[in-house]
Amino acid sequence: MKLSNVKHLTGKVSIPGDKSISHRAIMFGSISNGLTEVSNFLEGADCLSTISCFQKMGVSIERDNDHVLIHGNGLHGLTAPQDILDVGNSGTTTRLISGILAGQSFTSHLNGDASIQTRPMKRIMTPLQMMQADIRSDKGNDCAPLTITGRPLHAIHYDSPVASAQVKSCVLLAGLYADGQTSVTEPILSRNHTELMLSAFGATVCSKGTTATIDPDPVLTGQKIEVPGDISSAAYFLVAGLIVPNSEIVIRNVGINPTRDGILRVALAMGGDITRLNERTVSGEPVCDLLVRSSSLHGTTVEGEIIPTLIDEIPAIAILAAYADGTTTIRDAAELKVKESDRIQTITENLLAMGADITPTDDGMIIRGGAPIHGATINSYKDHRIAMSFAVAALAADGETTIIDGDCVNISYPGFYDDLALLSR
Ligand code: SPQ
């Protein structure tokens, strides 16, 4: 993919459905009774992997573009897959489905691509094994491929060492099949879509501070779910609108759940001209449109409690920092090392290639903004968030940028380059 500097960005863009919420709609619809109807479903490769896994366990799922009908099998109605469950590139599919599989009456094998085979699974294996689940890493390296032999589970309270919605959701989902109340406490609250959506399906989920508790064996009933636009996808347009001179864009239908909206708070703190319009609630999630105008930005510090609310947006925030005056320090974000790529390393390597002044640290990075940014060859390492962040960086850079394996954007945003081109006409 090749991109160059543009004069301005104008117009309106509607971003596709939220990836985290789309995954959960398929999973919870599959283990509910009756019909679940999902609109604005994200047609990205990750969410299609989730559909295919549940189809292999006997769930009838019909998809017409972004409209999905799930004929749920009920909490105890999944059937043994005849084939490996292929999770593709999706950490969310792997970790959440493991919680469900741990409580079934059959054995399943899970595997995915080269990236997924390096992502840590110990973080879910430990609590699941505390619940007496039988989950093994086939190669003994605590990564996929995984073999899970379902069995009755024991309820636990889990003190998670990491603020991770995937760990929390995995334990809560296993808790549906446990012999009592299961709870998870995390160090900082992570995204809470599982708690919100499972409640809507009829589960009894209680959230107090950083602890979520679930009752076992509920009757889950199919729902109508409209998936809000993904703030993680909106982030690229937000950054583009702020850094490309003479720009004014509206990003429509953006989910602004407070456990996800950290990028808005950071961009405002950096001097970004951003206005929330038409604030409303869609399927229990807060949503708005964002009016974004080019801005003169300054550095900031991003650390502590805000990190889980913007962890996937740090590549985009790093681009903002490179175009801002002064220093931006990002810390407490060691989780970046275990995403689709080691994002501390891939952000650093690619920003250096574009002429930015960046120093990686153990848990983040320091970016001294203001260095002239020029086009370069960017290695996405097949990480969708790296590809999209640097595509946006290219729009305000001097000269041409080439993104290697740029088609990895299909993981979470298949129409990304087309939408970007529409705004730069
Ligand atoms: O699904 P995957 O590959 O883990 O996706 C990522 C992403 O950048 O899209 C992370 F690499 O998002 C995660 C996110 O980082 C999605 C997610 C969820 O839906 O629960 C939670 C976060 O991960 P974690 O490990 O903090 O729970």
Place of tokens 């574009």: 354
Q: Averaged over 79-107, what is the pLDDT?
A: 98
Judged against a pLDDT cut of 90, whether residue 425 lies above it is answered with no
Edge-first strand order for the sheet with 273-282 is 10-14, 248-255, 285-293, 273-282
pTM of the model: 0.98
Average pLDDT for 341-361: 98
Over residues 357-384, the mean pLDDT reads 98
Residue range 243-297, pLDDT digits in tens: 999 999 999 999 999 999 999 999 999 999 999 999 999 999 999 999 999 999 9
Average pLDDT, the chain: 98
pLDDT digits (tens, 9 = 90+) for 326-337: 999 999 999 999
Tens digits of residue pLDDT in 180-215? 999 999 999 999 999 999 999 999 999 999 999 999
What gap in Å lies between CA 33 and CA 295, rounded to an integer?
A: 50
Give the Å distance between the CA of 58 and the centre of ligand 1.
Answer: 26
Ligand 1 centroid, distance to 166 Cα (angstroms): 7
The pLDDT value given to residue 321: 98
pLDDT at position 315 = 98
Ligand 1, residues at Cβ distance < 6 Å = 19-20, 46, 90-92, 164-166, 169, 190-191, 311-312, 335, 339-340, 385, 412
**Can you give the pLDDT at residue 382?**
98
Catalytic residue annotation: 312
CA pair distance 18, 225, nearest whole angstrom: 12
Question: What is the structure's pLDDT at 404?
Answer: 98
- Determine the distance separating the centroid of ligand 1 and the alpha carbon of 318, expressed in angstroms: 18
Give the chain's largest Cα–Cα span: 61
Cα–Cα distance measured from residue 74 to residue 44, given in angstroms and rounded to the nearest whole number? 26
Those residues whose C-beta lies under 8 Å from the C-beta of residue 64, and which sit 6 or more positions away, are none
* DSSP-based three-state secondary structure for 67: strand
- CA quadruple 12, 277, 266, 196: dihedral, nearest 10: -100
Nearest atom of ligand 1 to the alpha carbon of 167: 27
